[in-house]
Structures are given as structure tokens and as C-alpha cells.
């Protein structure tokens, strides 16, 4: 049986497994939907949960809060800081009493921020806050110069030069759906590991390996069919998430590429686990532990950036880092090569002495 025939036969068999397909396709959608609908999208930014203390005596404070869609505002500073201490928020921003007065006097308004921990988790919100304050200042200057009568005329009196701007990176909030899919891909790769163990126990691998087929050709065709099926289901899930929840992915091609690469790694991990243990439960546990370890290292690295150098170094050994970096920064090299090497490392670790795997009791 040729490589292509085995590949097509296995693809057909896996696509017919409705239970696995449903799991791979719908679970990421359901989990993303749960986060989307249960998360407080008004009071919680993509980078962390925030609140604002509005002590401003003028109109600009309320305008800023409305524009930034701040869900929780305080008039009492003590109450706000108490809630911050109780970890209800990652940061609390204070608009002082003279916020509007400063803006009207062409002085840049000051915003005080209170955090329990130093870090850049709220960077995106702070950038939006700065841009909104700059917009307020710009309108004031234009009104003072009699270029516009009020804010409603700003679009009529400013000449816009249209040009195409390519953002050099994507915000962290845009990465959640694809990171969620990649995490679940490694988890659900255990289903393929279970199938491999079943093929082994039913002597199917042994019978195939006794034919003229090359051992690596056999396992390679099975491996590739698993990657094709898992990638197809995951890409379909990504497309639906984008369509339904309007995350506005900015690099769909890079996300598809990295989903395929992570699938190569996840399936290779499952094959390695099935090589290490003939028991599905033990193999699944191995895969889950490896996945959790890699994800934990990755999150420590990005959350403690600038504070924990070792964490930043260690996260670079995880596939999540290279996949997310590729998507966020539109980067193919060296990320793609590194992810392929990681997949090859797991694949060869799981396929050593293939005939022994197939024929062992």
C-alpha cells in the first residue's frame, strides 16, 4: 500500500470519527464564547480589569470614561483603593479634580494610576487613555484657534491623507482565540494517541509493518493524516470564532500557518506519549503535563517580562512563544524553522524502533 493510499485512508477514517471532530471543532468555539459572554467587556480591558476614580469637576472626565467604555467608576478614592487591594482590579486610574481645568488651560492633564504590581499588563488601555487625552487637547487647540467651532466639526476641517498602514504587531487580546485553539489542540491530540494505541493492540500496525512498506513511511502517513484532520478542524473553528465573535484577526494566514505547525507538534507529542506508555490514560497524562508545563512557562515569561529574565529565556523553549511571536509580529523566520524542529524532536522520540512498537505486547 503506497504512502498516499495509507494517508488518504487514514484521513477518511479520522474525518468519519464524528465524536473527535465535534470535540476539536466545537470546544474552542464554546470556550471562546464562554469567555466572550461572561467577561465584563465594558469594565475589563483586553489586558486586565481596570476601574477609574473620577474626581473631575468638569465635563472631560465623564467624556473620557464614556469613550473608553469604563464599566466601573468611583467617586470615593478610599473605596476604589480598597477594592484594588482585594484584587478586584489590576489597576485603578484617578482623574483628579482639575482634569478638565488643565485641559481647558492647554496643560496636559495628569492621571494617577494605582497598581498592586508593576508590569505592563494594562499597556494597551494606557495607550488608549493617552490617545484620548491627546484628542481632547487637539480639539481644544483647534477651537481656540477658531479652526473649528466645536468637536463635531473636526472631521470637516481636517484634511485626511489616506494611506495604508501596516501595524507592526497585534494586540495581546487578539491572540487569545488562537492561543486557546493551540492549547486545546495539544490536549485533543491524546485522542489520536488513543487511536495509535488501539491500532497497536489490534495488531494492525504489526501487520502493516510486516509488509514491504518502510516503517517511517507507515508512521509518517498516519502522522500526516492526523495533522491534516486536526488542522482542518482547528482552522474551521478559528474561522467561526472570527465570524461570530468579531475578534477581527489581522493575520489569518499567519494563524493558519502556526495552527498547522502546532498540530505537527501536538500529534508528535501524542505519538511520543504512546511510545512511552501503552496505557491511554498514562499517555494522555503525559501529554497534558507537557502541555501545562509549556503553557505555564510561556505565561510566566510574558507576564513577568522585564522582571524575571530567566522566565523570558525559558519561554523561548516552548512552541507557544514562537507561534505567538510569529502571529503577533508577522514573522516567518526563524519561528517556522524552530517549530518544525520541535515537531521533529517529538516525532523521532516517539518513533524510535517503530517495528518494536508495532509488535510489542
Q: Are 115 and 109 in contact (CB under 8 A)?
A: no
The pLDDT, as a whole number, for residue 350 is 56
pLDDT value at position 206? 58
pLDDT tens digits, the chain, 361 residues: what are they?
Answer: 577 887 888 899 889 988 889 989 999 999 988 887 775 444 444 445 889 999 999 888 898 888 888 888 999 999 999 988 888 888 899 999 998 888 888 787 889 988 876 665 677 788 888 888 888 887 777 666 665 555 554 444 444 344 344 445 555 666 788 889 999 998 988 888 787 777 766 665 555 555 555 556 777 788 899 999 999 999 999 999 888 887 666 578 899 999 999 999 999 888 888 777 777 788 788 888 988 899 899 888 887 665 677 888 889 999 999 999 998 888 999 999 999 999 998 888 755 444 445 554 4
CB 47 within 8 A of CB 173: yes
- The domain ranges of the chain are 3-38+172-359, 47-157
Residues contacting residue 39 through CB under 8 Å, at least 6 positions apart: none
Name the CATH superfamily for 47-157: abc type-2 transporter like domain (3.40.1710.10)
The model's pTM is: 0.64
238: nearest Cα among 324, 175, 163, 145: 175
Give pLDDT, residue 155. Answer: 45
- What letter would DSSP give residue 342? H
Rounded to 5 degrees, what are φ and ψ at 52? -130, 135
Q: What is the pLDDT of residue 137?
A: 80
**pLDDT, position 326:** 92
φ, ψ at 96 (rounded to 5°): -65, 170
Amino acid at each position: 500500500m503506497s504512502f498516499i493510499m495509507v494517508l488518504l485512508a487514514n484521513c477518511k477514517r479520522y474525518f468519519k470519527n464524528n465524536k473527535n471532530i465535534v470535540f476539536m471543532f466545537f470546544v474552542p468555539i464554546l470556550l471562546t464564547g464562554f469567555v466572550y459572554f461572561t467577561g465584563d467587556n465594558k469594565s475589563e480591558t483586553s489586558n486586565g480589569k481596570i476601574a477609574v476614580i473620577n474626581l473631575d469637576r468638569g465635563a472631560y472626565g465623564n467624556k473620557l470614561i464614556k469613550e473608553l467604555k469604563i464599566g466601573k467608576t468611583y467617586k470615593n478614592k478610599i473605596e476604589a483603593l480598597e477594592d484594588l487591594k482585594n484584587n478586584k482590579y489590576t489597576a485603578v486610574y484617578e482623574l483628579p479634580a482639575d482634569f478638565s481645568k488643565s485641559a481647558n488651560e492647554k496643560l496636559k492633564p495628569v492621571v494617577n494610576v494605582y497598581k498592586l504590581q508593576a508590569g505592563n499588563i494594562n499597556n494597551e488601555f494606557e495607550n488608549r487613555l493617552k490617545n484620548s487625552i491627546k484628542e481632547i487637547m487637539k480639539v481644544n487647540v483647534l477651537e481656540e484657534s477658531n479652526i473649528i467651532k466645536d468637536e463635531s466639526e473636526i472631521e470637516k476641517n481636517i484634511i485626511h491623507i489616506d494611506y495604508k498602514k501596516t501595524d507592526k504587531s497585534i494586540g495581546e487580546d487578539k491572540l487569545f482565540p488562537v492561543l486557546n485553539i493551540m492549547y486545546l489542540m495539544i490536549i485533543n491530540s491524546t485522542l489520536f494517541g488513543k487511536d495509535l494505541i488501539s491500532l497497536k493492540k489490534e495488531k494492525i500496525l504489526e501487520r502493516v509493518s510486516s509488509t514491504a512498506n518502510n516503517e517511517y513511511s507507515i508512521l509518517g502517513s498516519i502522522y500526516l493524516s492526523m495533522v491534516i484532520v486536526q488542522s482542518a478542524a482547528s482552522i474551521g473553528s478559528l474561522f467561526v470564532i472570527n465570524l461570530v465573535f468579531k475578534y477581527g484577526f489581522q493575520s489569518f494566514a499567519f494563524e493558519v500557518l502556526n495552527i498547522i505547525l502546532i498540530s505537527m507538534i501536538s500529534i508528535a507529542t501524542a505519538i511520543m506519549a504512546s511510545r512511552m506508555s501503552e496505557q491511554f490514560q498514562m499517555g494522555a497524562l503525559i501529554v497534558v503535563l507537557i502541555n501545562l508545563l509549556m503553557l505555564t512557562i510561556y505565561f510566566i515569561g510574558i507576564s513577568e517580562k522585564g522582571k524575571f529574565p530567566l522566565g523570558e529565556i525559558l519561554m523561548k523553549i516552548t512552541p507557544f512563544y514562537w507561534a505567538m511571536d510569529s502571529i503577533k509580529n508577522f514573522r516567518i523566520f526563524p519561528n517556522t524553522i524552530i517549530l518544525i524542529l520541535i515537531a521533529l524532536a517529538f516525532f523521532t522520540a516517539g518513533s524510535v524502533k517503530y517495528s518494536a512498537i508495532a509488535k510489542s505486547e
